[in-house]
Amino acid sequence: MIKSNKEEISVSKQCELLLVSRSSCYYNPKGESSENLELMKKIDEIYLKYPFYGSRQMSLHLKKEGKSASRHKIRRLMRVMGISAIYQKPNTSKKNSQHKIYPYLLRDKVISKANEVWCSDITYIPINRGFMYLVVVMDWASRKVLSWRLSNTLDTSFCLDALEEAIHLYGKPNIFNTDQGSQFTSYDFTNILKSHDIQISMDGKGCWMDNVFIERLWRSLKYECIYLQEFDDVGQLRKAIANWLKFYNNYRPHSTFAGLTPQEVYYGGNSNALKPKNNKFAA
């Protein structure tokens, strides 16, 4: 549907007209061998349980499970996946030294209202013959996922798409918190926040606890959806994630809120109290 040989309409404009992420149209499942992709999936599963593992510990753990791989190979695959060995925080978005880093604004702050603070993060998602990256925008107080996007690259565009959709649907927060990854510190991303008078907050280096609610979302998503299915293409993956996030927001009881769903907490205990604006963006 999207063609790159039309000089009168750029690929970026075609994506905008079709309401799809600019990065998703470039998806190519080739790259790593099937053996490496299976190994990466196993590494991802182990990392959720033991986020402090570096390449040495990961290699030893895999060997005990009968999957022999050199430490050098494990290190390279972890780098491709964006996994940090030092802290629990996956290093899916690398820091750019030329981008401004903003202070962390949430320390000792009581956050109890919807749209008071939003947060965002990126995680690695395995599929057959390839992998993707997922970004979400979440409301801090209610844990409701406001928007999300898939991409086959760690560029900034899919993060911008998710941010713009969340603002269009739900207004704006007082504070937006992220890690120090280059996608979130980029001029394009921070400029959108500034243009809406949103305060910018960023986690301290290696402080995975600063954005722990999204870390818990990744764990639930992968154990309850991703690892239970085999995805042959991005379309299947996108549909499965959309269905699970709908379940998570609207039907899955949250233990933190005495069984209420994120949707109910976001709307003050009544899931039908308010509805977001019509979505002009593609999921």
Which CATH superfamily includes the segment(s) 117-266? Ribonuclease H-like superfamily/Ribonuclease H (3.30.420.10)
The residue behind tokens 């299976």 is 38
Residue 5's CB: how many other CB atoms inside 10 A? 5
Quick one: which of 162, 86, 85 has its CA closest to 122? 162
The DSSP element (H or E) to which 174 belongs, if any, is: none
Give pTM, 2 decimals: 0.73
Domain extents for the chain? Answer: 26-81, 117-266
The DSSP element (H or E) to which 76 belongs, if any, is: helix 71-81
Q: What is the pLDDT of residues 103-161, one digit of tens each?
A: 999 888 889 899 999 999 999 998 888 889 999 999 999 999 999 999 998 889 999 99
Q: What is the pLDDT of residues 194-218, one digit of tens each?
A: 999 999 999 765 455 556 788 889 9
Q: What are phi and psi of 102, to 5 degrees?
A: -100, 155
